[in-house]
Amino acid sequence: MRIDLVYTAFRLNPTFDQRQLNLSRIRNLAASLPGLLQDESVTWTLVEQTGCNSPSACQPFFHGFVVYVAKHYTAASSRAEVDSLTRKLRILEKKKPKTAKKTQGKKVPCNLPFSRFTVRQMARRLHRTYQCAQRAPQIVRFQLTVDAKGNTQQVRLQPTTGAPFCQAELEEALRQSVTFTSGFPINRRMFAFQVKGAVRLPMGPFQVFGKPDLAITNFALTDSAARLYRVFLKKKNKRDYCEARMTKAGELLASTDTTAATEPPLPADANVVNQVMRRHPEWTKEVVVTDVTGSMFPYTYDLLAWLQLNTLQDEKTFVFFNDGNDTPDKQKKVGKTGGLYHVRTDSYEATKNKLIEAMKGGGGGDAPENDIEAVLYARQLTSDSTDVILIADNYTFPRDTKLLKNTTAHVRIILCGVHDYINPKYLALARKHGFSLHTIEGDILDLSKLLDGQVITIQGQQYQVTKDGFRLIQKT
């Protein structure tokens, strides 16, 4: 469940305390719904509207709470999803190449992201914007993450020497100077992308003659789009252009579009399991623990699709959990919820059958799940030295984390459904126990080294470390 408190920023009296009013409104709501503030599955969001500057202009704006209630999953709903899962897997099996020969894929239209400025003009803007007293000669590489509308979401710098420069000022100057008016246009759609380049410091004063001190070296799709298309950057007559071809996954998705009218669209990170596993081929001996409740359907398909296309070399232990086999929510006990299914095999078919058995057993019910019960169960099935891969829902935090009190397990958590920000509770869990987090965009390691009060940026969002965990302080 998510609850948004929506209000307007305008205040007639400069001394008016909006925070106290918000707290009062939340208390009034909680008074009519006992236990609401203690429910850890509820995500609270403040939405401040800034589109009015007088009482009469603000009056039509909505003021109040907006409640988003997640679908309640049961064994019956899981059976429908099992039917969909098996249908898609049959299609995938038919599409699976019979030999190792690679095909180019269908060619689709492609253009480079649009900008109002040439690279030389961007270099001039950067020279005017970047003000720094440090003059040490050096090359600083950068990477910008840009959304599908052309808005820069994140700037990362990678110095090539230890020479000093003004990092924060250069990040902001690049954000203002290297700009785009669109996403990456491919196959009549716009996609988020990454642009890489380099800056030569100190910059020359005019940026008119010779090569500019700013260079764009590469464009690339983000992982979620790269699942669908392969992009090739080319040059002809000194002009850059691109070609794009559909991947096997893209062709498969296009071929199954007939289900779009009856099934919800896939989330942007629907192939996060595949992407993380490909990033880490060294994860060969870990036991895999997977949430197969209703909200995780796209990701269970992704896991099976990855297994179907990547033959297991050795036996691997899989544990699937459904949060209690449809046990009523009020009867679920921490550490004894049940709904655990395991198989040790090197067979895709055996893994698929056990996963489907777990899905048919129950849909999950309430939002919090029994992830840690499943992790500890997996530890009983394997040696204590075996690491655990936990495939978990970013928006449903485990109800049973207190079971980790005496464990020494190292857990790699693949977070599914990270659409805008990482659940701060998972950051706190990883910091407390030395776990690592993995999303479609990258890996988050060494959180246990952070100090209280420290502010960090993770995948475009800012968090502050507190004594109780993490606090999301800037949501872009």
**287-291 and 388-393 as β-strands: parallel, antiparallel, unpaired?**
parallel
Q: List the single range of 78-87, 261-270, 303-312, 365-374 with lowest mean pLDDT.
A: 261-270
Domain boundaries, the chain: 2-68, 75-97+265-474, 119-245
- Based on its alpha-carbon atoms, the radius of gyration of the chain, rounded to whole angstroms, reads 25
Q: What is the DSSP string of 40-80?
A: TTPEEEEEEE-S--SHHHHTTS--EEEEE----B-HHHHHH
Residue 339: how many CA atoms within 13 Å on its side-chain side?
33
76 pLDDT tier (thresholds 50, 70, 90): low
More confident position, 68 or 393: 393
Are the C-beta atoms of residues 278 and 252 closer than 8 Å to each other? no
- Evaluate if residue 425 carries a pLDDT over 70: yes
97 pLDDT tier (thresholds 50, 70, 90): low
The beta strands (E) that lie in 208-259 are given as: 214-221, 229-236, 239-246
Q: List the single range of 140-144, 212-216, 238-242, 353-357 with lowest mean pLDDT.
A: 238-242
Are the C-beta atoms of residues 81 and 87 closer than 8 Å to each other? no
Mention every residue, 6+ apart, whose C-beta is less than 8 A from residue 152: 144, 145, 146, 175, 178, 179, 180
- Rounded CA separation 145/147 (Å): 7
Residue recorded with tokens 């399991």: 273
Residue 309's H or E segment, with its range, is: helix 297-309
CA distances from 25 to 9, 81, 165 (A): 16, 39, 47
More confident position, 56 or 210: 56
**184-186 and 455-458 as β-strands: parallel, antiparallel, unpaired?**
unpaired
pLDDT for residue 259: 41
The beta strands (E) that lie in 160-192 are given as: 184-186, 189-191
Q: What percent of the chain has pLDDT over 70?
A: 88
195 pLDDT tier (thresholds 50, 70, 90): very high
Q: What angle do CA 233, 113, 171 make, to 5 degrees?
A: 100
246-260, 263-277, 290-304, 341-355 — which one is most confidently predicted on average? 341-355
The tens digit of pLDDT for each residue in 364-410 reads 555 678 899 999 999 999 876 678 999 999 988 898 999 998 888 89
pTM: 0.56
25-39, 356-370, 420-434 — which one is most confidently predicted on average? 420-434
- Evaluate if residue 237 carries a pLDDT over 80: no
- Rounded CA separation 429/409 (Å): 13
Q: List the single range of 11-20, 98-107, 184-193, 195-204 with lowest mean pLDDT.
A: 98-107
What percent helix, strand, coil does the chain show, rounded to 5? 30, 25, 40
- Evaluate if residue 264 carries a pLDDT over 70: no
- Rounded CA separation 311/402 (Å): 36
Mean pLDDT, rounded, for 65-69: 84
Residue 218's closest CA among 205, 201, 231?
231
- Rounded CA separation 150/152 (Å): 6
